[in-house]
Structure 1
Amino acid sequence: MSQTLLSVRDLRAGYAGTTVLDGVDLSVPAGAVLALLGRNGAGKSTFVHTVMGMLKPYGGSVTVAGVELAGAPAHRVARHGVAIVPQGRRVFAPLTVEENLRIAARRRTGEWTVPRVYELMPRLAERHANRGDQLSGGEQQMLAIGRALLGNPRLLLLDEPSDGLAPAVVDQVAGVLGTLREQGLATLLVEQNLHLAFQLAGEVAVMRKGRIVHRSSTVDFRRDERQARALLGVG
């Protein structure tokens, strides 16, 4: 059995005194890809931001490889091996691809280097001198993934990586993420594109109103169409 890398217990968080996460329990094994599904407004992005330290929780536990990080700032969470690819990509628009990556690589040591990112995503190497605002949406997404990898994470948090991308571009991003899965990088994937989620994840968890209401293997989830419709509102 795989060792648990991320363990979240009774996590509660929200904004301006409101509660979005209402006692979330969730774990991600080392080397596994878990898709976090749910309708819009279920709390998925809030969960990712809280785990990453971008939002301080009201209470609960977040441990990474046994280290308690609930309420820790994002830079400390990153030092313990967690990286995020945020929804909307958020690359530095005035900087070139190379500059975006070099900034991410500063004072970082590990297996992921700028040349290795270029090897994984040759399109970024071709566009290394282009500014962030000169890239297509797919290229920006690849840049955001590359930037996260340069933190040499053991857990990658992906928030809607297919958002706003054409189907052909989603396939390219899926190829990159599939390679990372094969290399054993643990990933928590928040995704509305069920085809992409099912393609990458070995397990799925479903969030509703700030709680995890279902978890199963992807195979079992896809097999029970009635349950999928009830949980997600789709077939």
Structure 2
Amino acid sequence: MSMLEIRNLDAYYGESHILQGVNLMVEPGEVVTLIGRNGAGKSTLLKSIMGDIPRRTGSIAFNGTEIISLPPERICKMRIGFVPEDRGIFSTLSVHENLTIGRPNGGTAWPLERIYEHFPVLRNRRTQKASSLSGGEQQMLAIARPLYMGASFLLLDEPTEGLAPVIVEAIGAIIKDIKAEGLTILLVEQNLQFAMDLADRYYMIENGKVIREMSNRQVSEDEQTLLEHLGA
């Protein structure tokens, strides 16, 4: 059984028809990357999975359970963690408070010691306000929080955007570690080289539609064409 299966998904902002008949699957343990130009609908797809887009039709099944009609709080309790593009951290709270503001959900939740083993910079900054962290440290905090809450499936929206190359490399290493721990990841990423070091498969989205599914080998072979398409 696929961990996530989306069939004929349409999503709307008001009268704007953003996603049009999207079909995709994510298998347990995979890193699947959504690629496409800005405004193609990638972030809308992640928000649709989380129930943050009210007007949707079609099917979104998670571990065989239909979730398209569920509210976001119910979807979060199914151990789906969402790291939005703006990171969604609480700037006035400390690192420790950001991590522990949510209640751990079941046996998949990472205890704080395990979080700090994988994110040592957060241990060093645990008493600091989140607003004092660098962009890369804030991104690490945003990724760590759903792990503390017990997520088994992560939705990551542009985790490397605006970060220095050395920090991008560190974020990549963290995602590899998370995958090695058995988590499944659906990643939105404009940095194709970064994605190629992590992903198992890719879906290209254009004008709200999936126009192509690709393996890592296909992406490697077509890298230059894809970079030109993405405007990189």
Mark yes or no: TM-score above 0.5.
yes
Equivalents in 1 of 2:220, 2:199: separation in Å? 12
* Contact 1:6/1:63 (<8 A) preserved: yes
- In structure 2, distance between residues paired with 1:230 and 1:194: 11
| Superposition map of 1:16-165 within 5 A | 16-104=14-102, 106-111=103-108, 112-165=110-163
- State whether residues 79 and 105 of structure 2, in contact with CA within 8 Å, keep that contact through their aligned partners in structure 1: no
Which of 168, 178, 183 in structure 2 is aligned with 1:170?
168
Q: Counterpart of 1:232 in structure 2: which amino acid?
A: L
Residue 110 of structure 1: how far off its partner (Å): 2.3
Q: How far apart, CA to CA, are the structure 2 residues paired with 1:73 and 1:124?
A: 31
Q: Do the aligned residues in 2 keep the contact of 1:206 with 1:212 (CA within 8 Å)? A: yes
- For residues 144 and 169 of structure 1, the distance between their equivalents in structure 2, rounded to whole angstroms, comes to 14
Q: Secondary structure at the match of 1:4?
A: coil
Number of residue equivalences: 231
CA deviation after TM superposition for structure 1 residue 71, in Å: 3.0
Divergent runs of 4+, >2 A: 107-111, 224-234
Contact 1:56 1:71 in 2 (8 A): no
Cα deviation for residue 109 of structure 1 reads 2.9
Q: What does the per-residue CA deviation read over 1:21-49, in whole Å, with 9 as the maximum and x for residues that have no partner?
A: 01110110011000100001100000000
Per-residue CA distance 1:177-218 (angstroms, 9 max, x = gap): 010111221100000111111111011110001010011111
Query: Structure 2: which amino acid aligns with 1:196?
Result: F
Residue 8 of structure 2 contacts residue 59 of structure 2 at CA under 8 Å; is this kept in 1? yes
1:14–1:46 Cα contact (<8 Å) kept: no
Partner Cα separation in structure 1 for residue 123 and residue 171 of structure 2: 16
**What is the aligned-residue identity percentage?**
39
Q: Quote the offset at 1:107 in angstroms.
A: 5.0
Q: Pick which of 77-86 and 61-70 moved more.
A: 77-86
Offset of 1:232 from its aligned partner? 3.1
Q: Which amino acid aligns with 2:27?
A: P
1:5–1:65 CA contact under 8 A, matched in 2: yes
CA distance in 2, matches of 1:71, 1:231: 35
Matched-pair contact (CA < 8 Å) for 2:104–2:148: no
**Structure 1 stretches of 5 or more lacking a match?**
none
**What is the identity, as a one-letter code, of the residue corresponding to 2:106?**
T
CA distance in 1, matches of 2:116, 2:224: 43
Whether the aligned pair in 1 keeps the contact of 2:50 and 2:76 (CA below 8 Å) is yes
- State which drifts further: 224-233 or 127-136: 224-233
Task: Give distance in 1, aligned partners of 2:183 and 2:191.
Answer: 21
**Whole-Å separation in 1 of the counterparts to 2:225 and 2:58:** 29
